[in-house]
Amino acid sequence: MTSTQCRLLAVFAFGYFVSYVFRGVNLAFAPRLIHDFGLSSSDLGTLTSLYFLGFAGAQLPVGVLLDRFGARRVTAGVMLIAAIGALLFSLAGGLGSMMLGRFLIGVGVSVCLGGAFKATAQHFPVGQLTLVNGVVMAVGGLGGVAVGAPLTWLLSMAGWRTIGIGLAILTTVAAVAVWVGAPSVSERPAQASVVEQFKGAWHVLSSRAFWKLTAFSGLTQSVFYAMQSLWVGAFLRDVVPAGAHAGASRVATLVSLLGAAFIAGNLGFGALARVLERRGVSVYLSSGVTMALFVLVQALIAARAPIPEAVLWAAYGALGGTGILTYAVMAEHFPARLIGRVNTSLNLVIFFAIFALQVAIGAALGHWPMQAGRYPAAAHETVWTVLIALQAIAAVWYFVPTLPTRSVARVEAKAAV
């Protein structure tokens, strides 16, 4: 690996790490936000989910911008929006300002992963991309660890507003690092107009092959991220297995364990899928099996199975991100000229679903009265049962052997630009 490649990988992975920290920071902020602003569960779910709404809404425009102006300029510039959003969130005097700040954060970091993948594709051989992109995902996943025990420790020494301002500064540093550290690449002028490129994205979203592949993957990933970034903390606090300690340190430790397992799962299951593919097992099948195992783990957690909770939550984290293998499956069913828009379309679906789920979960929990600052176990169990049932239905469609062949999917996409 050359020095240029190392520098590029470092700055873009750093940017994705910042993105991931913002994704889950309200997990630790939640008790303080509830105390300071008197937020209900519905308020908290809506506030946190606006990150994902901003992220989802920016996906298609960001994809077009990356193709026209390059990863370095677009990533550095758009990340400054996240810094402004973090500052607004931290200085907010009411819920409205916080919501706007959270939305701007989502818009600002929406470029981090797509920009990283575009940059690595331009500077690394194709054969190295699985490993290199896995490294980016793993470094980003460290953000999931950071919002557990490390952030809880920081909050014991400083207020959430101070930490929020610190994150705004960190985001600015990451944007400058990308601008200074990433090599500049001259983009070829786009052959199609912006309108035509958006038409291509619409054709992807109207493709049956896309939704056949996306339904199960999108649901498992959106459920995982909706929980990891907010509601898993409330579940761990309120639904305590016999013999477990209900303290904040236990919750923080398990959140960090979940984040670390997510990193290991991204690297390990990605490598396993490639090994199995060489032995004749398709990525489509291996991805489906790992997603099905994730649903099984959720069922065991919801049923409070007599299994050590550290084991269950490590499995939850390791399997929660395996739906990302669907990005590789998409490449087998759509022409190369559409893959960028296929990926951003999948991101749009996932992050909009996370937004909807976080709002819906908050509203559902709000139907039960809190007792001593906690929701009854029945409230969480009902939410989890519904989510598991939805994923099970999507799994049936995923495994029913009616996926269009590559040629059929290409015919479906023939009108796309």
How confident is the model over 43-72, as pLDDT tens digits?
998 998 899 899 988 988 887 788 778 889
311 and 402: one domain?
yes
48 and 79: one domain?
yes
Query: How many domains, in total, are found in the chain?
Result: 2
Calpha distance 169→87 (Å, rounded): 9
What's the confidence (pLDDT) of residue 241? 66
Considering only CA atoms, give the Rg of the chain. Answer: 21
Q: Which amino acid is at 12?
A: F
The 3-state secondary structure of 45-114 reads: HHHHHHHHHHHHHHHHHHHHHHHHHCHHHHHHHHHHHHHHHHHHHHHCCCHHHHHHHHHHHHHHHCCHHH
**Among the ranges given (91-100, 153-162, 189-198), the one the predictor scored with the smallest mean pLDDT:** 189-198
153 and 42: one domain?
yes
What's the confidence (pLDDT) of residue 411? 40
131, 166, 190 — which closes off a domain? 190
CB 196 within 8 A of CB 327: no
The CATH number that applies at residue 185 is 1.20.1250.20
Query: Mean pLDDT, to the nearest integer, of 278-288?
Result: 87
200 and 182: one domain?
no
Calpha distance 213→404 (Å, rounded): 10
329 and 387: one domain?
yes
173 and 199: one domain?
no
pLDDT at 378 exceeding the cut of 70? yes
76 and 145: one domain?
yes
173, 190, 207 — which closes off a domain? 190
What's the confidence (pLDDT) of residue 187? 55
Whole-model pTM? Answer: 0.78
Calpha distance 135→365 (Å, rounded): 37
What's the confidence (pLDDT) of residue 91? 96
Query: Mean pLDDT, to the nearest integer, of 321-349?
Result: 75
pLDDT at 416 exceeding the cut of 70? no
186 and 201: one domain?
no
Instruction: Give SS3 for 139.
Output: helix
What's the confidence (pLDDT) of residue 371? 83
What's the confidence (pLDDT) of residue 340? 62
Name the pLDDT band for 106 (thresholds 50, 70, 90).
very high
Q: Which domain holds residue 153?
A: 1-190
Calpha distance 139→143 (Å, rounded): 8
